Chain A
């Protein structure tokens, strides 16, 4: 699906099934608790190191991801670096949204998505201002404008720093653009995100997530950060040499998932890919990690990765691709 089709079809489909108020420009403000059922592992303990399935990497992006070492997070220069605004779509946390209005007429000048400990505030400017010059600095929160399409708020973020689109080093460049569609259905908020990155991706990467309106206030405040000593010396850059990433076949060993699926690429986003790898999938005799499913299944210890991501201990292995 190309970008234009996505932006037309997806909002349309969701609007068809959604029960929304009969007026344009709905109120998005409130504390929205994260619903982490979808992509639970992704939003909890984090994805496997080399799990790029569903990411439309080009060859360069994949090579860069494979060179990434998680130890980079311990570099003194990176300890206090924020994630990009796209982390809202990846992390486990809820969001606080409010609007800022022009005092004289009450018009909304901007929607704000409050900062959290690992990402900056996103300000969605609604006054039609232009995006910055190609030479301008890229603030941590990027630069975002928004517009209403009926009851759907669509925001466009540019000028982000380089970062990640998955919490395993899957890279996003400072040339990436993020488009978010905000759909409110009563007390539920669905956000559909599309990130395009001419540097690392061959097609738009699409991800959705949901939130539940909460009466527990979410405080939109990022935490301070002081760099500590976590091991790597300044100037040392942990990374893997080409073809030396020790996690290359982790998903194959754990779940029998073929390497070509784990390494991602545009084709891994589409249903037809399941047919392509069907004969290559070998059901492992025993599941040992993040097995999911009911307890007491034929999985092994079922050692989770902690947090919401942990599968039920002793669960069954994941179903084979169909």
Chain B
């Protein structure tokens, strides 16, 4: 007896059983993002059917792929742009169309220029060459979207030296608290967080993929970097984390099913809403402890000596590097007291 595919009954049964086994074996993998690691330390994780994360290239990079092309959240460090572009080309032949920057730090926007140039603007460049349209589309490169404050931090007034070359600057800056685009048949919201890590942070929420790119407001590898000099504050950081918890939805009422919103931090592993709650709670508790010490009249040095972050230092603390535990305590103290 032959089945509809021309297989004998025995072969069909065997094929079905083998298929069932494959499904069974794949079942566990569905819970975890699959990763491919290159020799350069860059890893590519598949989060959704058309949604990837590139880790290890500085800040995490989100990659949304579809018929409209490739949309990235952040571009990583400049030094690894070639590897980032190569990793994207392994995923798809579609051109990079957009980069959305979550802040103006070098590990997020350093790759803007090279990665954008590897892409192609969605705007037709009918004149080609160096004409007006070419200038309007950044030489035909992919567009770079960011809040205006990211542009202000990356650029400089005429005559002054900018932090980044013009080709890395956002081509589409906005100053509204919310910006949205519809790309690859998906609603994408950019939500400005006005005073958290800096004054130029934003979340990027992919509605259909159900993924939020949180930028450096969420950094699972260390205490949140609160750059008070650039407009960051502990109050804004906590408000932003609360907002992130609101945006992310856990799997409920069927909590035994895997799923729920995935949150891509600026650095570190992919998080669930619960992971963000853990992180937010840590920040709130440390804020409360330092606030209490300030109320009791303790100076900054006394507070540092009292080690208000002790319960969390093994997990998030650092004695060296660009963001030490003391730097975090100092940032919280300064933003609570208003002292410079």
Interface residues of A (CB under 8 A from B): 58-61, 63-64, 67, 72, 75, 77-78, 80-82, 100, 102-104, 109-110, 115, 120-121, 123, 125, 127, 129, 132-141, 143, 159, 161-162, 173-175, 198-200, 221-222, 224-227, 234-235, 237, 239, 241-242
Contacts and interface: CB of A to CB of B under 8 A. Distances in A.
A222 B255 contact: yes
B33 A137 contact: yes
Contacts of A200: 314
Given A102-B24, A104-B17, A135-B45, A64 B311 contact: yes
Contact of B285 (A135, A136, A139, A237): A237
A81 B28 CA distance: 21
A63 B73 CA distance: 38
10 contacts: A77-B273, A104-B14, A109-B21, A110-B28, A129-B29, A135-B33, A135-B35, A143-B32, A198-B314, A227-B252
A104 B21 contact: yes
Contact of A80 (B56, B255, B271, B311): B255
Contact of A139 (B24, B31, B245): B31
Contacts, number: 155
Contacts of A136: 32-33, 35, 45, 269-270
A82 B43 CA distance: 29
B123 interface: no
B255 A103 contact: no
Contacts of B186: none
A107 B275 CA distance: 36
Given A103-B17, A143-B31, A137 B270 contact: yes
B254 A241 contact: no
A178 B268 CA distance: 22
Interface string B10-51: 000010011011001101110111010100000101000000
B269 A60 contact: no
Given A60-B310, A60-B312, A135-B53, A226 B252 contact: yes
Given A80-B255, A103-B20, A143-B32, A174 B275 contact: yes
Given A161-B272, A199-B315, A100 B45 contact: no
What 3 pairs across the A-B complex have the smallest Cβ distances? A222-B256, A133-B35, A64-B311
Given A64-B312, A140-B256, A235-B238, 19 more contacts: A60-B312, A64-B311, A77-B277, A102-B25, A109-B24, A127-B25, A132-B32, A133-B35, A135-B33, A135-B45, A135-B269, A135-B270, A137-B33, A138-B272, A161-B275, A200-B314, A221-B256, A224-B254, A225-B253
A17 to B, nearest CB: 35
Nearest to B270: A137
A102 B21 contact: yes
Interface residues of B, number: 57
Given A67-B311, A123-B28, A135 B272 contact: no
Secondary structure of the B side of the interface? Answer: helix
- Counting chain B CB atoms within 10 Å of each CB, which of A120, A222, A235 scores highest? A235
B101 interface: no
A210 to B, nearest CB: 26
Interface in B180-205: none
Nearest to A65: B311
Contacts of A198: 314
Interface string B277-289: 1101100110011
Nearest to B46: A136
Contact of B289 (A58, A175, A199, A242): A242
B31 A141 contact: yes
B313 interface: yes
B313 A80 contact: no
